[in-house]
């Protein structure tokens, strides 16, 4: 059986690179892509390598980035353009293999095991992919190579991004001399809380974790402990599949608010708009869900507040009013009364609409017909053709969101 060869292809400073390709006059200038600072959503979404040399980091606040690099050109994101570029890059990658898995807007996994007969060894294929993307799109790609997805991901994130040629191969022959030497926080799947727990156990490098007694990790964290140990040892059995997003585990929508919301009636307007969006997405995907989750973050960055709670419904739904009532119940129960800056609603425990238990005490058929009519208007005339009166209030965000993709302007 032929040894698997998996790539993770990542676009360098994707949003910033697209803007530089569209504006050649910015080629030698530091560029930052950020939200609208006038609405207090000025967070750095992407910074080109020139800006990063000044210390600018993704997810930092815009005013901090401008303080570090005052000469940077700040551009508002154009999400539709970035999505279009991502699709075109997927089409390029499909020229090298039919096994392309979209991992994010700027990262994609490829299984090129069988492609070697046509295009050569892994290094040759990686270079061809880089040159094709650069020639066609004007964007530099980095390629991590491994026998599975986790090692390809680690190869790309920790080594290829720092290599001059943007390519690195990580496998079981060199994992000890490369990946195991990295600090534990560099391991994929280890966040700040897990980093703290592991370091308290004396686990400071990935190699320490790889050689730590597995039974102790399983005793403390169960299956998650074993997954961490396998990741540290480069073990990953998940295949590259084009159907990754076919089976949804949850459908959600999150909104960062333009100002502090501290009145319950204003927050309910946002909860209703979010519920409508989640319900509509569920219907378009032919799903119903049995659990509603609500996540709320407070307005203070220095002293984080908020909560994340969920509620099990009596029957599955894809109707906005059901989701809204559950979200309101959660909010009124767990809200601490402090100003709110962001809210997210998620519908989970999904099942297809073809098989579900009817609620004998609810007017399901009436709600179904109403929502079918609403969906028809939405598809034909757009998201703002028909809205609730509450969205016309000062608290409403429906019109503003209609002009965005993923929370950012198109």
Active site residues: 107
Confidence tier at 325 by pLDDT (50, 70, 90): very high
Which of residues 1 and 307 earns the better pLDDT score?
Answer: 307
Distance between CA atoms of residues 154 and 183, nearest Å = 13
Most confident range, picked from 156-165, 312-321, 355-364, 377-386: 156-165
> Is 13 part of a structural domain of the chain?
yes
Number of domains observed in the structure of the chain: 3
Residue 339 is part of a domain; what is its CATH number? 3.30.1490.100
Do 147 and 20 lie in one domain? The reply is yes
Do 357 and 303 lie in one domain? The reply is yes
Residue 187 is part of a domain; what is its CATH number? 1.10.150.20
Cβ-proximal residues to 20 (8 Å cutoff; 6+ apart), any chain? 26, 27, 31, 48, 138
> Is 171 part of a structural domain of the chain?
no
Do 11 and 106 lie in one domain? The reply is yes
Q: According to the model, what pLDDT value does residue 248 have?
A: 62
Asked whether the beta carbons of 408 and 281 are under 8 A apart, the reply is no
**Over 90: is that where the pLDDT of 360 sits?**
no
Confidence tier at 299 by pLDDT (50, 70, 90): confident
**Over 70: is that where the pLDDT of 213 sits?**
yes
Q: What is the pLDDT of residues 70-97, one digit of tens each?
A: 999 999 888 888 888 999 999 999 999 9
Mean pLDDT of 370-374: 72
Do 265 and 366 lie in one domain? The reply is yes
Give the chain's mean pLDDT. Answer: 86
Cβ-proximal residues to 116 (8 Å cutoff; 6+ apart), any chain? 5, 122, 125
> Is 237 part of a structural domain of the chain?
no
Do 191 and 312 lie in one domain? The reply is no
Q: According to the model, what pLDDT value does residue 285 have?
A: 86
Do 137 and 277 lie in one domain? The reply is no
Residue 126 is part of a domain; what is its CATH number? 3.30.70.270
Do 303 and 197 lie in one domain? The reply is no
Do 210 and 266 lie in one domain? The reply is no
Do 111 and 227 lie in one domain? The reply is no
Question: What's the predicted TM-score (pTM) here?
Answer: 0.70
Q: What distance lies between CA 379 and its chain's CA centroid?
A: 25
Q: What is the pLDDT of residues 87-126, one digit of tens each?
A: 999 999 999 999 999 998 899 999 999 999 999 999 999 9
* Three-state DSSP string of the chain: CCCCCEEEEEECCHHHHHHHHHCHHHCCCCEEEECCHHHCCCEEEEECHHHHCCCCCCCCEHHHHHHHCCCCEEECCCHHHHHHHHHHHHHHHCCCCCCEEEEECCEEEEECCCCHHHHCCHHHHHHHHHHHHHHHHCCCEEEEEECCHHHHHHHHHHCHHHCCCCEEECCCCCCCCCHHHCEHHHCCCCCHHHHHHHHHCCCCEHHHHHCCCHHHHHHHHCHHHHHHHHHHCCCCCCCCCCCCCCCCCEEEEEEEEEEEECCHHHHHHHHHHHHHHHHHHHHHCCEEEEEEEEEEEECCCCCCCEEEEEEEEEEEECCHHHHHHHHHHHHHHHCCCCCEEEEEEEEEEEEECCCCCCCCCCCHHHHHHHHHHHHHHHHHHCCCCCCCHHHHCCCCCHHHHHCEECCEEC
Cβ-proximal residues to 342 (8 Å cutoff; 6+ apart), any chain? 254, 255, 256, 257, 295, 296, 297
**Over 90: is that where the pLDDT of 300 sits?**
no
Annotated binding-site residues for Mg(2+) read 10, 106
Total residues found in the chain within this entry: 410
Annotated binding-site residues read 10, 106
Do 138 and 202 lie in one domain? The reply is no
> Is 173 part of a structural domain of the chain?
no
Do 201 and 323 lie in one domain? The reply is no
Asked whether the beta carbons of 296 and 342 are under 8 A apart, the reply is yes
> Is 364 part of a structural domain of the chain?
yes
For 395, the domain range is 250-409
Name the token pair of 356.
């579900």
Do 325 and 399 lie in one domain? The reply is yes
Between strands 73-75 and 44-47, the pairing is unpaired
């Amino acid at each position: 059986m032929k040894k698997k060869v998996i790539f993770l292809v990542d676009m360098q400073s994707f949003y910033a690179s697209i803007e530089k390709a569209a504006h050649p006059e910015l080629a030698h200038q530091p560029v930052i892509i950020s939200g609208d600072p006038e609405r207090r959503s000025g967070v750095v979404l992407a910074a080109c390598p020139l800006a990063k040399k000044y210390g600018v980091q993704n997810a930092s606040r815009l005013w901090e980035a401008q303080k570090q690099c005052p000469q940077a050109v700040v551009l508002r994101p154009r999400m539709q353009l970035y999505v279009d570029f991502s699709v075109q890059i997927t089409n390029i990658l499909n020229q090298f293999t039919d096994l392309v898995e979209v991992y994010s807007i700027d990262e994609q996994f490829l299984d090129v095991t069988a492609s070697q007969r046509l295009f050569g060894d892994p290094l040759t294929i990686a270079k061809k992919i880089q040159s094709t993307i650069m020639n066609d799109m004007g964007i530099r790609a980095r390629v991590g190579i491994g026998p599975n997805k986790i090692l390809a991901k680690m190869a790309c994130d920790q080594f290829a991004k720092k290599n001059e040629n943007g390519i690195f191969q990580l496998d079981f022959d060199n994992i000890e001399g490369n990946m195991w030497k990295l600090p534990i926080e560099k391991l994929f799947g280890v966040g700040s809380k897990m980093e703290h727990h592991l370091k308290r156990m004396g686990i400071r490098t990935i190699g320490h974790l790889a050689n730590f007694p597995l039974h102790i990790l399983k005793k403390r964290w169960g299956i998650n402990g074993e997954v961490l140990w396998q990741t540290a040892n480069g073990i990953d059995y998940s295949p590259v599949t084009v159907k990754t997003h076919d089976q949804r585990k949850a459908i959600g929508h999150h909104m960062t608010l333009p100002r502090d919301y501290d009145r319950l009636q204003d927050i309910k307007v946002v909860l209703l708009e979010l519920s409508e969006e989640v319900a509509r997405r569920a219907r378009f995907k032919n799903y119903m869900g049995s659990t509603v989750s609500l996540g709320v973050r407070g307005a203070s960055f220095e002293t984080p507040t908020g909560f994340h709670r969920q509620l099990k419904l009596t029957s599955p739904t894809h109707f906005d009013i059901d989701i809204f009532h559950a979200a309101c119940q959660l909010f009124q129960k767990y809200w601490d009364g402090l100003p709110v800056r962001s809210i997210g609603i998620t519908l989970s425990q999904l099942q297809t609409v073809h098989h579900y238990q009817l609620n004998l005490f609810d007017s399901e058929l009436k709600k179904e017909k109403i929502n079918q009519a609403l969906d028809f208007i939405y598809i034909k005339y757009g998201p703002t053709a028909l809205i609730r009166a509450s969205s016309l209030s000062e608290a409403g965000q429906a019109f503003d969101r209609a002009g965005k993709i993923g929370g950012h302007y198109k």
